[in-house]
Amino acid sequence: MTESPAPPHAGDDEALRERALAALLTARERTTLLTDSVDDHDLTAQHSPLMSPLVWDLAHIGNQEELWLLRGVAGREAMRPEIDGLYDAFEHPRATRPSLPLLAPGEARSYASEVRGRALDVLESTPLGDGPALVRSGFAFGMIAQHEQQHDETMLITHQLRSGPAALTAPEPPRAVDAPPAEVLVPGGPFTMGTSAEPWALDNERPAHQRDVPGFVIDTAPVTCGAYRAFIEDGGYGERRWWAPEGWAMVREHELAAPLFWHRDSGQWLRRRFGVTEPVPDDEPVLHVSWYEADAYARWAGRRLPTEAEWEKAARHDPVSGRSRRYPWGDEDPTPERANLGQRHLRPAPAGAYPAGRAPCGAGQLIADVWEWTASDFLPYPGFAPFPYREYSEVFFGPEHKVLRGGSFAVDTVACRGTFRNWDLPVRRQIFSGFRTARDL
Ligand SMILES: [Fe+2]
């Protein structure tokens, strides 16, 4: 049992440089769109206590890039040491950020772009193939591109939470081509989980290791709004027996009756999506549900959430070669035909879309569309070593965070892999979260 070899760009200095440059430029294009599509009032306002003002994200993106690429890789002096504390995510919780003396929108834009100009010079002059661990295979540049894209996803959540007319538009995702079977079998046996070969994988995805996973059955697509509506209409939110005790307490305290952003009008379910109110589409994966809601639905359906290892085995294990792939479809990078990534479409595609993206077991849409809650707590893999800083993952390990897998329509290619791990509190619903279910054989 092994994983696929390192991707073709790994080890080739010029290919790595081009890849890093492309990833940084793609991220900045998206950041610019997300921050230029609203006015200064919207940029500085706090649209939800769960989120930072957009202008904080913008300067924080620049500050992290300065810290890691200019100071870390190139050993330069701080450009504006007085602002470091303002943009340290651990120093100031999100709810308090609007009261800080933040850079104004114009200042934040010019700071981020000045940092970027210098960072591209550093990229040009730094050997990437070898050298210290921080730059080997272009890791620091890949990490910073992923960091910016993760904030672009966070900023898209802020766009979803803001009131007022739509600021963003996008074409519709592709339709479903056929109706695949509802569930597929993943036979029991060991597989390789995690990675030691992917050069830009983050510390929590490492190292590759063997896991024995008994056989199980998993949904071919994420649970749809139509299926979830059946749970609601069967009184799912009113029956204690479907819920974990903390989930039941959350339902009672906040009087939950449906996913976030849904409401009922004259007998019809509607939802608000990026400033537009529309009927809830039955065939689309359900979005904006907490782990507790996913867990309750699964129990109601006589099923359960897959464990993280089951999810990854369904997504990566190739029973013919015995190896774990980089992605469900193989080792090649994502394309628009394989997965709904990069905020290209501002919604999940209907269940059954993207047949070119299916895994060997037959499950589809494992990558992109909606983040999928798993049954598992966020824990380190055997042999985990924090890199390049403890606060990236290690401080979040423990039973309070549940793992989400597979990315969403809001995630970019650079921050999405078969091994990528996301985590959040089980009460969170503003994130682009859905789920699929599984059952024992
Ligand atoms: Fe950050």
**How would DSSP label each residue in 259-320?**
STTEEEETTEEEEEETTEEEEPPTTSBP-S--HHHHHHHHHHTT-BPPPHHHHHHHHHB-TT
CA 18 and chain centroid, separation: 24
CA of 88 to the centre of ligand 1 (A): 8
CA of 150 to the centre of ligand 1 (A): 8
CA of 101 to the centre of ligand 1 (A): 18
CA of 148 to the centre of ligand 1 (A): 8
Averaged in consecutive runs of 10 residues, what is the pLDDT profile of the chain (441 residues)? Answer: 75 90 98 97 93 95 98 96 92 86 96 98 91 92 98 97 92 88 96 96 98 98 98 98 98 98 96 97 97 98 98 98 97 97 98 97 98 98 95 94 98 97 98 98 94
Q: What is the pLDDT of residue 330?
A: 97
Task: Specify whether 270 is located in the same domain as 387.
Answer: yes
Last residue of a domain, one of 161, 188, 213: 161
CA of 393 to the centre of ligand 1 (A): 12
CA of 61 to the centre of ligand 1 (A): 7
CA of 60 to the centre of ligand 1 (A): 7
Last residue of a domain, one of 104, 128, 161: 161
Task: Specify whether 95 is located in the same domain as 196.
Answer: no
- The residues pairing with 269 across neighbouring beta strands, listed in sequence order, are 264
Q: What Rg do the C-alpha atoms of the chain give, in angstroms?
A: 21
Task: Specify whether 362 is located in the same domain as 440.
Answer: yes
Last residue of a domain, one of 127, 161, 195: 161
CA of 109 to the centre of ligand 1 (A): 17
Say which CATH number the domain at 96 has: 1.20.120.450
CA of 140 to the centre of ligand 1 (A): 14
Task: Specify whether 211 is located in the same domain as 178.
Answer: yes
Q: What is the pLDDT of residue 12?
A: 84
CA angle at 68 for the pair 74 and 197, rounded to the nearest 5°: 100
Task: Specify whether 322 is located in the same domain as 222.
Answer: yes
Backbone φ and ψ for 118, nearest 5 degrees, come out as -70, -35
| DSSP at 33 | H
CA of 151 to the centre of ligand 1 (A): 7
* Helix (H) or strand (E) segment spanning residue 371: strand 371-378
Which residues are CB-neighbours of 253 under 8 A, at least 6 positions away? none
Task: Specify whether 134 is located in the same domain as 186.
Answer: no
Q: Comparing C-alpha atoms, which of 382, 227, 352, 373 is closest to residue 288?
A: 373
Task: Specify whether 150 is located in the same domain as 282.
Answer: no
Task: Specify whether 358 is located in the same domain as 410.
Answer: yes
Say which CATH number the domain at 278 has: 3.90.1580.10
Q: Does residue 192 sit in helix, strand or coil? A: strand
Domain count, the chain: 2
299 neighbors 236 (Cβ within 8 angstroms): no
Give the type of residue at 438.
Answer: A
153 neighbors 328 (Cβ within 8 angstroms): no
- Other CB atoms within 10 Å distance of the CB of residue 263: 13
CA of 406 to the centre of ligand 1 (A): 20
CA 138 and chain centroid, separation: 22
CA of 241 to the centre of ligand 1 (A): 39
Q: Comparing C-alpha atoms, which of 145, 202, 198 is closest to residue 414?
A: 145
CA of 20 to the centre of ligand 1 (A): 19
Structure-block tokens of residue 368: 């992109």
Task: Specify whether 54 is located in the same domain as 184.
Answer: no
CA of 147 to the centre of ligand 1 (A): 6
- Region of residue 349 (left: phi > 0; alpha: psi -120 to 50; beta: else): beta
Task: Specify whether 22 is located in the same domain as 123.
Answer: yes
| DSSP at 104 | P
Q: Confirm whether pTM is higher than 0.75.
A: yes
CA of 65 to the centre of ligand 1 (A): 10
Q: What is the pLDDT of residue 1?
A: 58
CA of 179 to the centre of ligand 1 (A): 40
CA of 243 to the centre of ligand 1 (A): 33
Spatial separation of the C-alpha atoms in residues 153 and 287, rounded to whole Å? 15
Spatial separation of the C-alpha atoms in residues 297 and 379, rounded to whole Å? 24
Q: What is the pLDDT of residue 164?
A: 87
CA of 154 to the centre of ligand 1 (A): 10
Backbone φ and ψ for 265, nearest 5 degrees, come out as -135, 120
Sheet with 268-273, side-by-side order of all strands = 262-265, 268-273, 276-279
CA of 191 to the centre of ligand 1 (A): 32
Supply the DSSP string of 85-132, one letter for each residue: GGG-TTTS-GGGGGGS-PPPHHHHHHHHHHHHHHHHHHHHHS--SSSS
Task: Specify whether 153 is located in the same domain as 174.
Answer: no
Q: What is the pLDDT of residue 8?
A: 67
User: For 298-418, where are the E strands, in sequence order?
Assistant: 323-324, 371-378, 398-405
The domain of 441 spans 169-441
Q: Comparing C-alpha atoms, which of 66, 38, 77 is closest to residue 161?
A: 38
Task: Specify whether 110 is located in the same domain as 213.
Answer: no
CA of 89 to the centre of ligand 1 (A): 6
CA of 64 to the centre of ligand 1 (A): 7
